[in-house]
Structure 1
Amino acid sequence: MPSLDPAIAEVRLAVRNALVAVPETRVIVGLSGGADSLALTAAVAFEATKLGMSVVAAVVDHGLQSGSDAVAQRAATQARELDVEAMVLAIEVDDQHPDGPEAAARAARYAALARFAAAENATAVLLGHTLDDQAETVLLGLARGSGAASLQGMAPSRQDGDGMLWLRPLLTVRRATTVAFCAASALPFWNDPHNLDTRYARVRVRTQALPVLEAEIGPGIAEALARTAEQLREDAEAFDEMIHETIEDIVEHAEAGISVSVAALAANPAALRNRILRFVVDSEFGVSLSRSQTVEVARLVTDWSGQGPIDLPACSARRAGGRIVFTAR
């Protein structure tokens, strides 16, 4: 009996480990036709059958390139050849998105996948991000200087507010392995020309920054960045647990907003205090505070000298007696 190709074995094992946490039901695989998502789809098709699951491949056509509809249909055909149901989802991307075209496409893609998964009564959506994608995400977060939250990268598993489970089984798998999987499985894959377009920051990180780091510092940079993300996620989970244990005792609803106890904030170390402030504002007003905004609000606790209200996205913060009051604007 011929031995299993190592790339196929590695990808299948990663998928198997992810699927064991999913109820035995219907799952959705995001498929673009590229090597990562095609390897994921083939591995899910193999593993899900053994677990009694049904699989549907969702191919999102952003319509951003000429011939994208043909690419999407070809990917759907490949899924069907793997005995996987497939559906092409044509979407429109907001060309006025404040964070640019990459963010707009990502937001539209996730929204389409979420709607489709709900309509299919699926319990999980599987995405083909690899360890290389994780390393790029961490390096981009480091360049933005937006703190530990941006360095946590992508979670291998998360559940959204609607109860949908989003899984990234291949975050421990290198991109070269998915390419080798497709070669060993005789699966021709699509090379997205956007992946070579250096107008995009992620492409510059992929094609220029990471190769330079590997050459100048040594191999293993991508793995080190992925390990950093994993460790920071563990730290964040611990902080989140501490926040949830604390928050009900120190927060009160105020007129047109919410307030937090100064004494309780002052009693906590800066890292936890700042996380509580960001959590309160995000939960109440749906906006994220920057590092500089968070520090300014924290000064109302630690360096109070009568300063007036601080304008923030969607709200303002002021000190009133023993409380920091956040009011909608």
Structure 2
Amino acid sequence: MTYTPELRKAIGDVRRCLEMLGIQGSGERGHGVHRPDHTAPLVLVACSGGRDSLALSSVAAIVCGTLGVRCGAVIVDHGLVFGSADVARETADKCRGFGMAPVIVRRVVVEAAGVGVEAAARNARYEALTAVASELGAVAVLLAHTRDDQAETVLLGLTRTFGLDSLAGMPDVIERDGVTFARPFLDLTRAQTTAVCVSRDIEWWDDPTNGGTADEGGLSTDLPLRSRIRIALLPYLTNFIKTDMVSHLARSARIAQRDKNYLDMQAARVYDHAVDFAHGDAVAGIDTRTLAEEHEAIRTRVIARLLTEAGAPTSSRHVEAIDRLIVDWHGQGAVRLSSGYSASRQNHVILLCHDGMHENR
């Protein structure tokens, strides 16, 4: 195997990611693919068959082999494009060729009711990955998002009203339903993952919904917004400002993520004292006296977290309206949320209710 600069960096980034997660096997075992003991920790890679995830799969197999850690793959077939089952099967064969085991293919049904197809597919994908990881007892699932994906995420976030969280992009590590997801490639570019695939003679699949390039005959507005940002907006900004916007946005996201982590930590401390999920018949209660003296940045994070954990659809407008029940209370009525949720104030407590059953009691 030829260890190109891109491959060496990719290996180093995956190794650092596993070290950060505290994942250890039976110790250093040298180069090459080994068969770890069946009791060794299991790391899974979410692999779509694209260049980024195939590069990550091949590199993770190398790194896990040297550490004595088991390395498997999960391929999620969304069934959204013609021939997706064939792509999933071929991707699984490639992962097995890397020495990965187990290799699991999961077909999901994407239901876009109330959300766009892209968001619905993402939700279905995470549900499948979480289910497989839980079933197999995996210590982590690796995602192949790159620096380019991070830049696109920041620009995508700026089209929405999520404040600092939009600028922070994607974190290195997240916990979802008890499963750890990590992104070791956030400091690699798409060009570098392509180079890894080329150096290892790996053929990849290009998702047609990602589109081509802006000069391939025009930009279709039927493409998802992220694809339009990738194909047209990022190249335009790079040319307009005469700087590497991918690197610039990714660095900015890392700085914003640091600040976001601090605010989240402070909000978590307040959340534990202010929120009560055992508040009578209501979904939850918020103690306004606990929150009233806190900074707006903390109050709104507590409110947003509560709505998310309660399963209530959240918007910045809803969060701000509930915040006014805390700091600008003058007897106003309940805040009507989506999907039958509402928030109303009674004395020093804000009750989060479902189907409007409790707000007037």
Match among 199, 203, 221 for residue 184 of structure 1 = 199
In structure 2, the CA distance between the partners of 1:244 and 1:67, relative to structure 1 (3 Å rule), is closer
Q: CA deviation at 1:3?
A: 7.4
* RMSD of aligned alpha carbons: 2.2
Q: Which residue of 2 aligns with 1:13?
A: 12
What's the secondary structure of 1:28's corresponding residue? strand
- Distance in 1, Cα, partners of 2:287 & 2:209: 49
What's the secondary structure of 2:49's corresponding residue? coil
C-alpha contact 1:89 1:112 (8 A) present in aligned 2: no
- Distance in 1, Cα, partners of 2:17 & 2:62: 13
Q: Which residue of 2 aligns with 1:129?
A: 145
Q: CA deviation at 1:13?
A: 0.9
- Distance in 2, Cα, partners of 1:149 & 1:84: 35
Deviations 1:215-244 (A, max 9, x none): 001222112222232223222222222223
What is the letter of the counterpart of residue 259 of structure 1? G
Match among 51, 54, 66 for residue 35 of structure 1 = 51
Match among 122, 135, 151 for residue 167 of structure 2 = 151
- Ranges in structure 2 where 5+ consecutive residues have no aligned partner: 26-40, 213-219, 356-361
Match among 246, 266, 285 for residue 222 of structure 1 = 246
- Distance in 2, Cα, partners of 1:149 & 1:115: 27
Alignment of 1:1-329 (within 5 A): 4-20=3-19, 21=21, 22-24=23-25, 25-85=41-101, 87-162=103-178, 164-196=179-211, 198=220, 199-252=223-276, 253-257=278-282, 258-283=284-309, 285-313=310-338, 314-329=340-355
In structure 2, the CA distance between the partners of 1:289 and 1:116, relative to structure 1 (3 Å rule), is closer
What is the letter of the counterpart of residue 292 of structure 1? R
- Distance in 1, Cα, partners of 2:80 & 2:272: 46
Q: CA deviation at 1:276?
A: 1.9
- Distance in 1, Cα, partners of 2:275 & 2:98: 53
Deviations 1:179-232 (A, max 9, x none): 011111221222222211742111100000100010001222112222232223
- Ranges in structure 1 where 5+ consecutive residues have no aligned partner: none
What is the letter of the counterpart of residue 146 of structure 1? F
C-alpha contact 1:92 1:108 (8 A) present in aligned 2: yes
Q: CA deviation at 1:177?
A: 0.2
Deviations 1:12-46 (A, max 9, x none): 11111112222431111122221101111111111
Q: CA deviation at 1:86?
A: 5.5
- Distance in 2, Cα, partners of 1:234 & 1:296: 27
- Distance in 1, Cα, partners of 2:226 & 2:173: 22
C-alpha contact 2:307 2:314 (8 A) present in aligned 1: yes
C-alpha contact 1:27 1:53 (8 A) present in aligned 2: yes
In structure 2, the CA distance between the partners of 1:8 and 1:301, relative to structure 1 (3 Å rule), is same
- Aligned pairs, number: 326
What is the letter of the counterpart of residue 308 of structure 1? G
- Distance in 2, Cα, partners of 1:238 & 1:263: 23
Moved more, 17-26 or 319-328: 319-328
TM-score, normalization by structure 2: 0.83
Task: Using the aligned pairs only, state the percent identity.
Answer: 34
In structure 2, the CA distance between the partners of 1:116 and 1:321, relative to structure 1 (3 Å rule), is closer
What's the secondary structure of 1:296's corresponding residue? helix
- Distance in 2, Cα, partners of 1:92 & 1:138: 28
What's the secondary structure of 2:264's corresponding residue? helix
